[in-house]
Structure 1
Amino acid sequence: AEEARQTTQFEPLPKSLFQPLPPFEDLPRPLSPSGASALIDEAKQAVIDTGSPVLDTEAEPGFAVMRGLALHKLLQMLPGIAEAERRDAAARYLKRAGAQWPETERDKALASVATILADSHFDQLFASNSRAEVAVMGRLEVKGKLRSISGKIDRLAVTSGKVSIVDYKTNRPAPATLADVPPAYVLQLALYRALLQPLYPEHEVSAALLFTEAPRLIELPPAVMDNALARLTGA
């Protein structure tokens, strides 16, 4: 009786429910801004920047990577600590993270971070309206194909009418001018900028590289980033 009641109460299932599903689209892995330069073709060869943001020309790669990661972590966490307590907190962290480092290297790392946080030119980057390690994702047409772009911005500051993107680099020696900056770094920030512009249509989106060893902040002109992005997208 119950089956008969349900047969009369409910309409037949739609035919579309029994049709086969469309083939699964195997999407490509999201493109990382830091590795996007490999997609730019010049003279039928990929232009790949072989320099690493953390590799040190004067030390073993393992140590240089660890040093770069430690500097990134300090610049991420210290702005959230009271100014009077930052140096002691940084020293404690380096004593653990850099336990195997030469003492002179720990001192250099501590001095570098302390100099950056004490410099009034960098106040806006570490103010209360800034954030560290901001994950971003979006889509961009690259060489005629829509690609997902996924990355993480080291520091993002939003003020009235302006969004500032900053990426930390630990190159030794640090580039002295914009002309010395590896093209891959420029493209990386150009992609971050392209992802953020639709989110902040009323803001100017600027980008800069902070080379921690100097320390030196090198701002990237919009035209330079536009050109790097045009080379990638094939525009």
Structure 2
Amino acid sequence: MGRFRRGDLIHRLLQVLPDLAVPDRPAAALRLLARERDLTDDQRAEMTAAALGVLNDPRFAEVFGPGSRAEVALAGTAAKLPAGLAISGRIDRLVVLPDRVLVADFKTNRPSPDRIEDADPAYLRQMAIYAAVLAEVFPGRAIEAALVWTDGPKLMAIPELLIDQTLAELGRAG
């Protein structure tokens, strides 16, 4: 099984399982993965453990907690983006709170870096663009962006300075 397929399946688990009661999640994960006939029991167990490792980690509680939503469509542009740049995409996980907005993207297809600065620049661009558009959709609220790595698991917040630097680089490239 390739890493991309593994990533897709874990992504699906992270999309579906948060809406279930905590005690029901392990059995639901195994039921969902049982539909994938070519997987071994060990592969199913490993993917279930990876997803539950993220969901059971207190560092991720807000991202998967009450009021969080999976697969949120986002389209538009923003003043901080280069002229003519518009996006249409899906946010893996979005939490809208009274004072701030949390946006998270799951990364399952690569080993995670040790530092957010070493993440794939494409991931940083994606999250910076999401943050810029969300800042206009939710004016006056802080936008907090993070990558959720299932290998670890690890939650890596993307500092506002790094988002601003990434947006500035987009402006120079465009």
How high is the TM-score relative to the length of structure 1?
A: 0.69
Q: Is the Cα–Cα contact under 8 Å of residues 106 and 148 in structure 2 kept in the other structure?
A: yes
Deviation at 1:129, TM superposition (A): 1.2
Residue 58 of structure 2 is aligned to residue 120 of structure 1: yes
1:78-111 CA-partner distances (Å, limit 9, x unpaired): 11112111110001111213x2123322211111
- In structure 2, the partner of 1:193 is 131
Residue 129 of structure 2 is aligned to residue 204 of structure 1: no
* Alpha-carbon spacing, 1:194–1:108, altered in 2? closer, same or farther (3 Å): same
1:13-38 CA-partner distances (Å, limit 9, x unpaired): xxxxxxxxxxxxxxxxxxxxxxxxxx
1:191-217 CA-partner distances (Å, limit 9, x unpaired): 000110011112100100000121101
1:165-207 CA-partner distances (Å, limit 9, x unpaired): 1000014422122232111111110000011001111210010
Larger Rg: 1
Q: Is the Cα–Cα contact under 8 Å of residues 132 and 153 in structure 1 kept in the other structure?
A: yes
1:112-144 CA-partner distances (Å, limit 9, x unpaired): 111111112111111121100011011247996
The residue type paired with residue 181 of structure 1 is A
- In structure 2, the partner of 1:66 is 5
Q: Is the Cα–Cα contact under 8 Å of residues 193 and 206 in structure 1 kept in the other structure?
A: yes
Q: Is the Cα–Cα contact under 8 Å of residues 153 and 165 in structure 1 kept in the other structure?
A: yes
The residue type paired with residue 127 of structure 1 is G
- Cα RMSD, aligned residues only: 1.9
1:93 counterpart (32, 38, 43):
32
Query: Which protein has the bigger helix share?
Result: 2
In 2, the alpha carbon distance for the partners of 1:88 and 1:202 equals: 41
In 2, the alpha carbon distance for the partners of 1:184 and 1:128 equals: 30
The residue type paired with residue 92 of structure 1 is R
Provide the aligned length of Structure 1 versus Structure 2.
Answer: 173
In 2, the alpha carbon distance for the partners of 1:130 and 1:179 equals: 26
Matches within 5 A, 1:7-18: none
Residue 35 of structure 2 is aligned to residue 84 of structure 1: no
In 2, the alpha carbon distance for the partners of 1:202 and 1:232 equals: 24
The residue type paired with residue 152 of structure 2 is A
The residue type paired with residue 119 of structure 1 is D
In 2, the alpha carbon distance for the partners of 1:122 and 1:73 equals: 17
In 1, the alpha carbon distance for the partners of 2:73 and 2:156 equals: 22
Structure 1: gaps spanning 5 or more residues: 1-59
Deviation at 1:148, TM superposition (A): 2.2
- In structure 1, the partner of 2:156 is 218
Identity of aligned residues (%): 38
The residue type paired with residue 5 of structure 2 is M
